[in-house]
Structure 1
Amino acid sequence: MKLKYIVKTFLIGLVFTACSKDSGSNENTSTESDEINNFVWKAMNSWYYWQPNVADLSDSKIASTAAYNNLINGKTPDALFYSLLYQRGTVDRFSWIENSNEIVRVSKIAEVEKKGGFSYAIYPKDASNTNMVALINYIVPGSPAALAGLKRGDVITRINGNQLTASNYDQLENTQVTITLAASVQFTSSSLVTTDKTGTVTVTKADIDENPVAYYEKKVYGAKNIGYLVFNAFKSDYNDELNAAFAKMKSDGINELVLDLRYNGGGSLETAVALAQMINGSFTNKPYIYLDFNNKHNSEDGYENLSEKVNIFNLVDNEPTFLREESINSLALTKIYVLVSFQTASASELTIQCLKKYINVITIGEETVGKFVGSNTLYDSPAYDYISYSNRNTKHKWQLQPITFSYYNKDKDANPANIEPDYEINPYSTFLNLVEFGNIKDPYLNKALELITGQTIRTTAKSNNPSLPLIIDNLTAFNPTNTAKGLYIQDFTRLKKQ
């Protein structure tokens, strides 16, 4: 099948582009087709998953040159692109276009990125959904955030001197940001109340190739050797580190696994398939995921199967390059416990939905994002059906990231709106109790340990029983650092030859 020959990705999250996004008319009234907009329309006409549902993407639109030019001309490329999306913001929440000079949202599965080094989640302070706080999920070791003294569980209340709100939280993605932290956090019956620390912390982004295998610990309760693994992105250039983590767990005699995917927004499909094999390993060559494209690309439809091998990559010129193949280290588990949140998406949701067809998967936490669609990057290379980077038109730097396929488990079961956890945890309960990874004060980890051991795991966790509403579109729009990874299928050797 042809799937391995093109780049595909699941990508989620609100895209904060520079000033070009939806910037309106460029007053182009030429009788000829605008070159860039011609690329935008034709690439979308070919690949967009919902192309049959969008009247302006109908093949009939190109029958009349004058009508076609009237449709595509007189708009900026991004304005045209967003006008072609199917029920944008409701059905299609994830497609975007970018000019590579203004990239804010990455579309890679392995790369060095400009980052501050702190992952965060945004929470409303009350039901008005106006004033916000940002809870720091974790800090990348050695990052600017780490050097600035930030730590997991810190609460950000102000940004550049202003109260954090639904209108300015995106400034946390600026190249440099000055933040104020909370000195105290309390809950009333209807709101989250904070007081500020004196002074501020400034974080300036730097180049980071974050290791997504963030934490591993063995916990022993009687005969239960419990592995706790925090995995924050499906990055193919860390396949060897992930495989090594499972080798360590094998040597540690792990017979129970808590897999923490709360902050994992997706990544490499190949890595996702390998992870399933590492967890169990008994279903080699069996189908794992089914991908479905639009009718113009039915030849791309098909399964990805479980394999006993995993490809190892290294970054060369910031692109993953094949190094070798490794045998997968498998734990032969028939049950796992997965920690999830409203930031869990894409390849993480795939892991839950597809793996549960083979073993028992217990989920603990919150409803996930609900992203069961994906994308392949489209370039201005019409002779190569818009999928060749090396053969692209170099006179401009626009590229598209539209939804181009949906995915299903091996039985092609209909996907839910999102994954509802088997055991729900109030997301606000992490405030005051989010210390270092592995600390049993963490209510999510604590619940998993209780389910595994059948015991009450006593802690010194601070009690708070907030009843705040968690609205704002499941908060997925408010977590840009955690929702940009996506899910790819990629044959890197073939890609380099294009």
Structure 2
Amino acid sequence: MKKYLIPLFALLLFNIGCKSDDDGIVNTETPDPDPGSDVIAQNFMWQAMNLWYFWQGEVNDLSDTRFANDTEFTEFLEQNSDPSDFYFDVLLFEEDRFSFLNENYEELVSNLSGVSKSNGLEFGLVQFSGSEDVFGFVEYVLPDSDASTKEIKRGDIFTRVDGQQLNLGNYIDLLFGDNDTYTLGLADIENGTITDNSTEVSLTKIENQVENPILVAKTLDVGGTKIAYLMYNRFLSNFNEELNAAFGQFVADGATELVLDMRYNPGGSVNTSRLLASMVHSTDTDKLYIRQRWNDKIQVQLSSAQLEDYFASSTGVTAINTLNLSKVYVLATNSSASASELVMNGLAPYVDVVHIGETTRGKNEFSITLVDDPEGSFIYNEDREDEINSENNWGIQPLVGRNENADGFFDYTSGLAPTYVLEEDLANLGILGEPDEPLLARAIEEITGGVSKRSFAVEMPAKSFTSSRIQTPLKDNMYLDKPLNLNK
């Protein structure tokens, strides 16, 4: 598994402790549970959240002075026998929509690298009007996956799994449960109505399915204008070189415009977002991309150099291939979140970001992976796996900070509103990367200044309430993978 692991904070904060230290975090001594108490996971979660959580100061139960003694602390931990309930119901701030956890940290870390058990079918789920029934629509199919070998494609509709109608009560078990193989029952759309048909497609989830986030990268020639198109579906640092190579091809093709399609991109690596922004706009390392804000305990320990990220001239392996653009066309929807929004916000002080689609998710916080390794300040580090408490496999992914752009703007919890509103149409999703696909066609119209005779009216808006990418351990996480050291 190690070949896929991301070195989250590989050099970070080895000198931070959970106890008072004149050279480290200013913190009162933290409590310890009574020996013999069965609260190993809960204790780890409280200690880690007390140190790192962005809203630590707003959650009374995470206060440094919350407990008078170890016995009181133990009784508090014992009130919730289920670690998951303890995390979500007790420790999280009421405005926190995105922190999550996994009872197996190895699964969590693997998913951060784009490795999961998957059949390769990515889809959205929509609730039927006036009913608890649900239907799905295929957004795209991963190459080299089980789904890529079957008769199913973008735009297909399904209503049933193993003969059962999908509904709000069963879709998680049927589509995202322990069943590695399931059979989808397809349906047709005609005159705004979805009707079941007899076609069935059986799909099987494959272990260690790796997602290349670059689904489509091509240069279109539209009336002599070279338009680069990139369909980018997750920010995965182990594909940084492939991303840079795609921009190298755009440069070689003479592209002068870019359509960056992140309509389904739920986020990922903060550093990869910085590299992508540099490929779009500039390799000037004196230009500020983003600035981090942590809780009060952490913020005072970090220097300006550690808190600030500048545009990059290198991936760390190769020189950045940049288009040096002052305008970019971004396709983004409510499924676009975290690192996708970060690119848009980080570019905004320098670039005219023309946003086509829908208001984005509104996730402006980043997270880190925490495990039961107190001596390592709870930060997951693959080189310290032997130091992780063998009696506790829980991993948590709490929000620990926010990123603001060079203008100081970070408040987009309601999402980033589009310049031009255009929803996807279930009756006409089109082929990704083709000039007549509706969202891309709208961008091309803006680029060329032409007014097409086609209508952009939407017959059946694709209003999904969740998607296959969200129902994974990675969810819509934006994770920080920048090595830092304490300001001594």
Category of TM-score, reference length = shorter chain: 0.7 to 0.9
2:295 match: 294
Name the structure 1 match of 2:411.
415
In the TM superposition, 1:58-457 aligns within 5 A as: 58-74=63-79, 75-88=81-94, 91-100=95-104, 103=107, 108-126=111-129, 128=130, 130-170=132-172, 171-174=174-177, 175-187=180-192, 193-206=193-206, 207-281=208-282, 283-298=284-299, 299-300=301-302, 302-311=307-316, 325-389=317-381, 390=384, 391-416=387-412, 417-427=414-424, 429=425, 431-457=426-452
Contact 1:342–1:476, Cα closer than 8 Å, also in 2: no
Once residues 405 and 350 of structure 1 are traced to their aligned partners in structure 2, the CA distance between those partners, rounded to angstroms, is: 13
Residue 339 of structure 1 contacts residue 364 of structure 1 at CA under 8 Å; is this kept in 2?
yes
TM superposition score normalised by structure 1? 0.82
Displacement of 1:380 in angstroms is: 0.8
1:478 is displaced (CA, Å) by 7.6
CA distance 1:351–1:462, shift in 2 (3 Å) = closer
Change (3 A) 1:479 1:328: closer
| Cα distance in 2 for residues equivalent to 1:264 and 1:282 | 24
SS at match of 2:169: coil
SS in 2 for 1:331: coil
User: Are 2:39 and 1:44 equivalent residues in the alignment?
Assistant: no
Instruction: Give me the whole-angstrom Cα distance separating, in 2, the residues matched to 1:478 and 1:326.
Output: 33
Asked whether the equivalents of residues 365 and 478 of structure 2 are also in contact (C-alpha less than 8 Å), the reply is no
C-alpha distance in 1, partners of 2:409/2:314? Answer: 27
Q: Residue 470 of structure 2 contacts residue 476 of structure 2 at CA under 8 Å; is this kept in 1? A: no
How far is the alpha carbon of 1:173 from its aligned partner? 2.2
Give the secondary structure class of the aligned counterpart of 1:270. helix
Contact 1:108 1:485 in 2 (8 A): no
Moved more, 437-446 or 270-279: 437-446
Distance 1:444 1:151 in 2: 18
User: SS where residue 430 of structure 2 aligns?
Assistant: coil
Question: Residues 226 and 257 of structure 1 are in contact (CA less than 8 Å); yes or no, is this contact kept in structure 2?
Answer: yes
Q: TM-score, normalised by structure 2?
A: 0.84
Aligned CA distance change for structure 1 residues 464 and 49 (closer, same or farther; 3 Å): closer
- Whether contact under 8 Å (1:433, 1:441) holds in the other structure is no
What percentage of aligned pairs have identical amino acids? 32
Q: Tell me which amino acid in the other structure corresponds to 2:145.
A: S
Is the 1:4–1:489 Cα contact (8 Å) retained in structure 2?
A: no
Q: Are the equivalent residues in 2 in contact too, given 1:369–1:476 (CA < 8 A)?
A: no
For structure 1, the residue ranges without an aligned partner over 5 or more in a row are: 8-27, 188-192, 312-324
Cα distance change, pair 133–186 in 1 and its aligned pair in 2 (3 A): farther
Higher mean C-alpha displacement, 210-219 vs 366-375: 210-219
Question: Residue 264 of structure 1 contacts residue 348 of structure 1 at CA under 8 Å; is this kept in 2?
Answer: yes
CA spacing shift, 1:167–1:268, aligned 2, 3 Å: same
Q: Which residue of 2 aligns with 1:322?
A: none
The answer for unaligned runs of 5 or more in structure 2 is: 1-7, 14-32
SS in structure 2 opposite 1:421? coil
How many angstroms apart in 1 are the aligned matches of 2:287 and 2:96?
Answer: 31
Bigger mean CA deviation after superposition, 140-149 or 360-369 = 140-149
Amino acid at match of 2:124: A
**For residue 338 of structure 2, what is the amino acid of its counterpart?**
S
* CA 1:165–1:414: 2 relative to 1, 3 Å: same
CA contact (8 A) 2:266 2:470 kept: no
Structure 1 Cα separation of the partners of residues 140 and 403 of structure 2 = 30
- Work out whether residues 158 and 184 of structure 2, in 8 Å CA contact, stay in contact via their aligned partners in 1: yes
Equivalent AA in structure 2 for residue 397 of structure 1: N
Counterpart Cα distance in 1 of 2:155 and 2:85? 39
Deviation at 1:184, TM superposition (A): 2.7
Is contact 2:366–2:480 with CA below 8 Å preserved after alignment? no
Distance 2:241 2:131 in 1: 42
CA deviation after TM superposition for structure 1 residue 62, in Å: 3.2
Contact 1:107 1:485 in 2 (8 A): no
Question: Deviation of residue 253 (structure 1)?
Answer: 0.7
- Structure 2 CA distance for aligned equivalents of residues 377 and 42 of structure 1: 14
- What is the alpha-carbon distance in structure 2 between the residues aligned to residue 493 and residue 110 of structure 1? 20
Structure 2 letter corresponding to 1:486:
N
Deviation at 1:491, TM superposition (A): 5.3
Shift of 1:337: 0.3
Alpha-carbon distance in 2 for matches of 1:115, 1:306: 34
How far apart, in 2, do the equivalents of 1:382 and 1:30 lie? 17
User: Structure 2: how far apart are the matches of 1:401 and 1:133?
Assistant: 30
2:66 and 2:409 mapped to 1: Cα distance? 35
What CA distance in whole angstroms lies between the structure 1 residues aligned with 2:461 and 2:44? Answer: 49
**What does residue 16 of structure 1 align with?**
none
Q: Provide the rounded CA distance (Å) in 1 between the counterparts of 2:60 and 2:321.
A: 50
Name the counterpart of 1:490. 481
d(CA) in 2 for partners of 1:326, 1:102: 30
